[in-house]
Amino acid sequence: MLCFFRFLRFLLVALALSPLAALALEPVNINTADATALQQINGIGPAKASAIIEYRAANGPFVSVDDLVKVPGIGEKSLERLRPQVTIGGAAAPKSVRASKSGAAPKKD
């Protein structure tokens, strides 16, 4: 009987935590997330969350997830660990479109 109650307790805990696990699978939008949401990303603590928000406030929204390397404290290795956990919310414009918006001629392939 004790084994049954242990199993039941385990099952209840698993069910209670399952919505949290589902939320963790969704990438975090680095263009709209506040510090609390950014800190849910594995590898982002309070200092990096603040740095991301400060960069975004000074430079506008991220055009690409790759722009995270422009944030102080985030390098190429960090970016590779963060990449599956973050999004910019929607598809980024192709490089040729971004180039034309900045005034440069589009690159021909």
Question: Could you report the per-residue pLDDT of 6-27, keeping only the tens digit for each?
Answer: 776 776 666 666 555 444 579 9
Burial of 82 (0-12, 13-18, 19+ CB in 10 A): buried
Question: Could you report the per-residue pLDDT of 67-95, keeping only the tens digit for each?
Answer: 999 999 999 999 999 999 999 987 544 44
Task: Tell me phi and psi for residue 21, to 5 degrees.
Answer: -65, -40
Return the C-alpha torsion angle 73, 77, 82, 87, nearest 10.
Answer: 90
**Residue-range domains of the chain with CATH:** 26-90 (1.10.150.280)
Q: Cite the beta strand spans of 1-109 per DSSP E.
A: 28-29, 86-87
